[in-house]
A and B are shown apart, each in its own frame.
Chain A
Amino acid sequence: MLSIENLSKRFGSVSEHPLFQAVSLRLAPGESVAIMGESGVGKSTLLNCLAGLEPVDGGRIRLRDTELTALNEDDFARLRRRDFGFVFQSFHLLPHLTLAQNVALPLWLLDLDDRTAGERARAMLERVGLGARADDWPRHLSGGEMQRVAIARALVHEPALVLCDEPTGNLDPERATGVLELLFETIHSAGAIGLLVTHSPTAATHADRVLRLTRDGLVAA
């Protein structure tokens, strides 16, 4: 269970109007939501706040029984390791690691040994349809394939929450659909909470619910 209450964030001085405020949201495991909004409204910032990569100015975030906004930086990092998965618009695969190693990265951070991590990463790659290319390098992949690897990386450690920031922003429409189908299917079958941020209405339809981010909170789209 993820619950966000009255979250607000501002850049710069207190006198300025916050980027957003009064953001509230409750999500149960297995549920997914798409958050839309024009560019610059603060969607990425909201995700960063949820992940503890950006400090918040007010409000509370709870994941299961943990009050995230009360965690210090290191504890948050440890929590991210276990409970968070990320999919970025620009993939962020490490060019000098093979696909299997890229997918194994979250497992390495959880101190799994090389072999176990490798096996789980290969199984995950199999699920996203890239099992045969586990030892290939990212630079040999198309954009859609890279994003599949990123999805495998986001879910390999069975996180409670998967945050996706414009995962199809760099892909053409056909590939985008394939990637989104895969993404939501894996999130649902893992019983994780999915949070998708996008400015594309087509992308948003894949989620259970669609919301719109405004300066004064989330509204139904």
Chain B
Amino acid sequence: MNAALRHVFLASLWRRPLATSLSLLAIALGVALGLTVQLIHSAALDEFGRGIRLLSGTADLQIVGSQAGLDDALYPLLARHPDIATASPVLEIEARLPGRDETLRIFGIDLFRVAQVTPSLLPMTDVQDGTPTERIDRLGPLQPDALFLSPAAAARLALAAGDRLTVQIGVREQALRIGGSVPGAGVGQILAVMDIGAAQQVFDRIGRLTRIDLRLAPGIERGEAQRRLADLLPPGVAILTPDDAESEVTGLSRAYRVNLTMLAAIALLTGGFLVFSAQLLAVVRRRQEFALLRALGLDRASLRRGLLAEGAVLGLIGGLIGVTLAYLLTALAFRLIGGDLGAGFFRGIAPTLRFEPLLTLVYLTLGVLAGLGGAWLPAREAARMIPARGLRAGDEAEVYRAQPRWGAALLCLILAALLCLPPPLAGVSVGGYLAVLLVLIGAILILPGATLWAMRRLGAPRALTLRLARARLAAAPGQAVVAGAGVVASVALAVSMAIMVDSFRSSVDGWLTRMLPADLYLRASAATASGYLDPETVARIAALPGVIDVYPVRFASLRLDPMRESIALIARPVRTGNGLPLVAGSLQPTGSDDAHPAWISEALADRLRLGVGDPLALPLADRLQPFRVAGIWRDYARQQGAVVIELDDYRALTNDWLTNDLGLFLADGTAPETLMTAIRATLGEQTSEMILPGELRAMILAVFDRTFLVTYLMEAVAVLIGLFGIGTTFAALAASRRKEFGILRHLGLRRRQIGTLLSVEAALTAAVGMGVGLLAGGAIALVLIEVVNRQSFRWSMDLQLPVVALLVFGLSLILLAALAARLAGAQAMRQDAVLAVREDW
């Protein structure tokens, strides 16, 4: 079998280079995309986890607050607690660096305590020539303006001891002196360390901490201590193990990774279907060859194995190309954008590329499975053939007589519907993906029946070629399966992606319009970083000529009890502003109790199982405050969940008057550019960031389109294969129907009319495939929108049908199919054509 396997089966892949390379391309793309995402993510997570372990050192437990931090009065309380041996306070700041694109994580530490809990954060002074020499005297204070950089940070910022680094607080700038390094931080961590008192002072966070690391007294059990200490903590402050902290980020970034993985899964699925349609064609064309082999003594199982091996080899080679591509892409991504994947979960680390044997193997296996899966049905079909019949010329007709399989098709669709019901598995919408696969299989099973039905509908047309074509397809609906399977699969995937992307895009667009009502937005830094606008600055901006109104937004984070990760709190004018993209509830709550209104995002409603009217307690300013859910809104930005409250309520409850984002409404005739110049003159050149909503929208939509570019590429390949399938099938048909055509010509049909006949048959086949593909595509789009997206990201979108685009796509595909058939047929009908037709053209 070995030699036969090589020369008869595997070699056949070489003999149809076009089909083979397209299948390889699709599988390689799917594997590359999926593995790249995982590689980047696992390297980033790894480095991140190392960072967390480094930063938590030997801590047994950590007290963490929200972004606003916790009151440092908590610290002496804990330090004196009998369960605790050492408590080390930390103030973590994400410092904005004016004039630079990146921010810097600065840890304010207590030198004495940190030495006992997280010694790797211990700073070292450097002598003038820049080499670290002596460790700072443990008990001596750190100079208040001295900043110590980790090796990675020093490299990234190109700074050495003695240099100065300007940080931004609010809209103010302050220079800090580089006092030395943090040699224990390792190569991947971009961070800095300074004295905690100094940090509180410099960054205007007097009396606040973000974290307290605890080491328990000898003999104290961690679980018990965790329970006892939790009672001491104010609401919104959590006590976590270092592992919890790590899984918090894993959870946060998971959904984002799932998003990209979904695209990869669809690419792989397309690859599998390309293999399917290419193999189906090849099997029909090699029917006589297989019959001969069976006569020579090849058993069914070996024939099936040989054909599966073809699929597996396609999958393996595609997988290997994909894996290679993935490592190249990952290396490139690390050079260009770091480990962030653009979503901002992993700022401040510099991961390095490593070989991941397990991940690589998994994706290689997925590639092989896609190839095997695609080859499965064709191999079964080939093994079922009766060799005595296959040996006769023209026996392909046997295949084309396929019976409609309504029952099996219905079963697939029912199963698909049932699979949409169960919840996601570990956050991955496994049921949704399987449903997509089943809908595709169902669509292909329906094809012969649909062809028969459509031909009957066609009635008795008068045009001769149309009548002949109809008769042929009605008698040989299986021809539609062989020629049209590729069309159905590619149309279904292309249409579903088009519908989903279009729905998603227009929903995002609508959402952006709602979320960004103002003419111009101003901020001092990202909401997590150290820049902000104080009331006095806001007042100065509001007073600038041309500004009619300002619209301040304050971002904060909250920890709600049953949840691990913190959620986003957005305080802004709601009732007087431009509202929210609501999916339930209203902006004007009617209930008149003392609970304040809150509008929660779909993700939060899902996670907390909250509905409109339900009470919700939010920990603000160390106290639980009563709120009531007034509405549920759509949020495409914060998958962990977000809650919006009225800015006035927030200010009254917290006495926090700072602003992160300031929306500016301009007077008619005021050019935003003029105002931007005025603002820079007021605040300084580098302490603020401004953006026009139009620009931001264009930017976001551009990123959006880029994300889906790969998908479009996949679909284009799929459609190509579909057309190619029609071309090859009709070339084969033309060759095997020479007798039939000869008779027709004797009966007086002109040569051109034979060509037309082929074109009409192809157009009818493509039209039926198109119809079935459209329906299947619609169904798949529904699954993607209502199941996969909802389960993966907990967000909804409005279904949008790109009718015109779909129509144009459908009509041009039918025309192209007719053209492909005619070209292929013409070539096949030439004199020496029978010998010249190889397995593809």
Contact = CB atoms under 8 A, between A and B. Distances in A.
A34 B244 CA distance: 86
A92 B1 contact: no
A2 interface: no
Given A94-B289, A95-B835, A111-B1, A86 B8 contact: no
Nearest to A92: B292
Interface in B1-42: 1-4, 6-8, 11-12, 15
A94 to B, nearest CB: 6
Interface string A83-102: 01010101010111100010
Given A53-B388, A96-B15, A109 B289 contact: no
Contact of B299 (A74, A94, A107, A112): A74
A24 to B, nearest CB: 22
Contact of A113 (B2, B11, B288): B2
B297 interface: yes
B292 A94 contact: yes
A214 interface: no
Interface in B439-459: none
B300 A73 contact: yes
A106 B387 contact: no
B299 A105 contact: no
Contact of B295 (A80, A95, A113, A117): A80
B391 interface: yes
A94 B297 contact: no
Contacts of B301: 74
Nearest to B288: A92
Contacts of A51: 295
A139 interface: yes
Contacts of A95: 835
B393 interface: yes
A74 B300 contact: yes
Given A53-B387, A81-B297, A88-B391, A117 B292 contact: no
B387 A114 contact: no
A54 interface: yes
Contacts, number: 79
A82 B297 contact: yes
A101 B2 CA distance: 14
Given A53-B388, A139-B835, A114 B3 contact: yes
Contact of A106 (B15, B297, B393): B297
A104 interface: yes
Tell me the dominant secondary structure on chain A's binding face. Answer: helix
B232 interface: no
Contacts of A107: 3
A73 B299 CA distance: 8
B8 A113 contact: no
A48 B296 contact: no
Interface in B276-306: 288-289, 292-301
Contacts of A106: 296-297
A78 B297 contact: yes
B97 to A, nearest CB: 66
A79 interface: yes
A101 B294 CA distance: 17
Contacts of A114: 2-3, 6
Interface in B376-395: 386-388, 391, 393
Give the interface residue-count category, chain B: 20 to 34
Contacts of A105: 4, 8, 293, 296
B734 to A, nearest CB: 17
A77 B297 contact: yes
A94 B8 contact: yes
A92 B296 CA distance: 11
Interface string A136-164: 00010000000000000000000000000
A109 B11 contact: no
Contact of B391 (A79, A82, A92, A96): A92
Contacts of B295: 51, 53, 80, 86
Given A92-B391, A94-B289, A104 B3 contact: yes
Contacts of B296: 80-81, 84, 86, 105-106, 109
A73 B303 CA distance: 13
A77 B298 contact: yes
Contacts of B293: 105, 109
Contact of A77 (B2, B3, B294, B391): B294
B297 A84 contact: yes
A54 B388 contact: yes
A100 to B, nearest CB: 11
A135 B749 CA distance: 43
A73 B383 CA distance: 12
A113 B213 CA distance: 70
A111 B2 contact: yes
Interface string A101-142: 100111111011110010000000000000000000001000
A79 B297 CA distance: 7
Among B292, B294, B300, B838: residue with most chain A CB under 10 A: B292
A139 B387 CA distance: 24
B7 A97 contact: yes
A94 B301 CA distance: 21
Among A80, A108, A111, A114: residue with most chain B CB under 10 A: A108
A186 to B, nearest CB: 17
A90 B291 CA distance: 13
A96 B3 contact: no
Contacts of A82: 297
Contacts of B300: 73-74, 77
Interface string B339-383: 000000000000000000000000000000000000000000000
Given A96-B11, A101-B7, A139-B835, A109 B298 contact: yes
Given A54-B388, A92-B391, A108 B1 contact: yes
B20 to A, nearest CB: 14
Nearest to B301: A74
Contacts of A73: 299-300
Contacts of B12: 96
A112 B838 CA distance: 28
Contacts of B298: 77, 81, 109
Nearest to A107: B3
A90 B393 contact: yes
A79 B301 CA distance: 15
A104 B293 CA distance: 12
A54 B301 CA distance: 18
A221 B835 CA distance: 40
Nearest to A104: B3
B551 to A, nearest CB: 72
A40 to B, nearest CB: 14
A112 B3 contact: yes
A174 to B, nearest CB: 24
A147 B296 CA distance: 16
A109 B177 CA distance: 80
B2 to A, nearest CB: 7
Given A51-B295, A80-B295, A81-B296, A117 B388 contact: no
Nearest to B3: A108
Contact of B297 (A96, A101, A109): A109
Contacts of A111: 1-2
Interface in A40-72: 48, 51, 53-54
Nearest to B298: A109
A208 to B, nearest CB: 25
A80 B11 CA distance: 24
Contacts of A53: 294-295, 386-388
18 contacts: A53-B295, A53-B386, A53-B388, A54-B386, A54-B388, A73-B300, A77-B300, A79-B297, A81-B298, A84-B297, A86-B296, A88-B391, A92-B292, A96-B11, A96-B15, A104-B3, A113-B2, A117-B3
Top 8 closest pairs, chain A to chain B, by CB: A81-B297, A80-B297, A77-B299, A108-B3, A108-B4, A53-B388, A48-B388, A74-B299
Given A78-B299, A97-B7, A109-B297, 13 more contacts: A77-B294, A79-B297, A80-B297, A86-B296, A90-B393, A94-B8, A101-B7, A105-B8, A105-B296, A108-B1, A108-B7, A111-B2, A117-B3
